Amino acid sequence: LEHDEITLHYLLLGSDIRKSISPAVQNAAFLKTGFDGRYDLCEIAGPEFRGAVTRIRKSKDVGGFNITAPYKEKIIPYLARLDSRSRAIGAVNTVKVLKNGNMVGYNTDVDGIQESLKKLGAVSGRKCVVLGAGGAARACVYTALKDGYNSVTILNRTLNRAKRLVASFDSQFPRARIRVASLSSENLEREIQDCKLLINAVTNPFPFEVRFSGAQRGLKFLDLGYKGQSSILASARKARIRCMNGVLMLVEQGASSFEIWTGRNAPRGAMLAAARRELAR
């Protein structure tokens, strides 16, 4: 069978993804556009990873997949090609499976972050602070540097992981100042005294209380979490900081994935409505 004669399957690969709202968001897009596709979860444990990827590559009915923690970097050796952004970031969240079984990697988290920052009204300024050094934080640091922030500070619990992140960006952005420090309330509260943009890419629950009373005027805060409200987002809102959660990012990265897979414009309104419905359940 040729790809265009059958219902194409799309997947989310990851561990601990049972509560993901991506199926609701993507299936709403298939329904709205009439594209003959279906999106499902594919939860895999570490030892099953290689076998699962091989099965997907050989199957004739998988058109592509999203990939999340902890596999965003692990997938790279299996891909025939990476787009320039996923190569620069060193992490992939979207894979298109070609008819010959070759797989191409993309990073659409960047689109989600860029759209969120635009909506938040963050104008690229001097300094941005990113909390976390995982796959999502990598995309945040890349986006900030690409968007013209010339100083990025990364705060992370595991300092070595943050240092590895810096090493991969230092040579790509030689004029930028990229620094790391450990994630603590003292460091965070000091760093937000002179920055215009704070992004949280640390897994919820956030590990400590944050006081925003000393934050620079006009600070904007993007929290990538989209389920419930993290304690840091609650504190920022209380301090009247302009904030946004990760719902728009989730929808926008999914919309870009949909466009890569299908070649059609994503129905963003229907996807956002589906995300909101699912989160309210």
Ligand X SMILES: NC(=O)c1ccc[n+]([C@@H]2O[C@H](COP(=O)([O-])OP(=O)(O)OC[C@H]3O[C@@H](n4cnc5c(N)ncnc54)[C@H](OP(=O)(O)O)[C@@H]3O)[C@@H](O)[C@H]2O)c1
Tell me the residue length of the chain: 281
Nearest-approach distance from CB 204 to ligand X, in angstroms: 5
Contact (Cβ atoms closer than 8 angstroms) between residue 161 and residue 181: no
* Burial class of residue 186 in the structure, from the number of CB atoms within 10 Å of its CB (0-12 exposed, 13-18 middle, 19+ buried): exposed
- Rank residues 150 and 278 by Cβ distance to ligand X and give the closer one: 278
Number of Cα atoms under 13 Å in the Cβ half of residue 195: 23
Catalytic residue among 60, 72, 99, 220: 72
Cβ 89 to ligand X, closest distance in Å? 11
Min separation Cβ 34 and ligand X, Å: 26
Which of residues 61 and 209 has its CB atom nearest to ligand X in the complex?
Answer: 209
Q: State the minimum distance, in angstroms, from the CB of residue 186 to ligand X.
A: 15
Instruction: Please give the sequence-ordered ranges of beta strands (E in DSSP) within 126-261, or none if there are none.
Output: 127-131, 151-156, 177-182, 197-200, 220-223, 242-244
Q: Which residues bind ligand X (CB under 6 A)?
A: 69, 109, 112, 132-137, 156-158, 161, 183, 201-204, 207, 224-226, 246, 249-250, 253
Task: Indicate the residue among 160 and 172 with the shorter CB distance to ligand X.
Answer: 160
Task: Give the contacts of 68 (CB within 8 A, at least 6 positions apart).
Answer: 12, 13, 14, 17, 20, 93, 135
C-beta closer to ligand X: residue 125 or 225: 225
- 8 A C-beta contact, residue 142 and residue 110: yes
92 or 201: CB nearest ligand X: 201
Quote the Cα angle for 147-152-155, to 5°: 135
CB of 142 to ligand X, least distance (A): 13
**Closest CB to ligand X: residue number:** 134
Cis omega (within 30 of 0) for bond into 77: no
* DSSP line for 167-205: HHHHTTSTTSEEEEEE--HHHHHHHGGG-SEEEE-SPSS
Q: Is 127 a catalytic residue?
A: no
> Which residues have a catalytic role annotated?
72
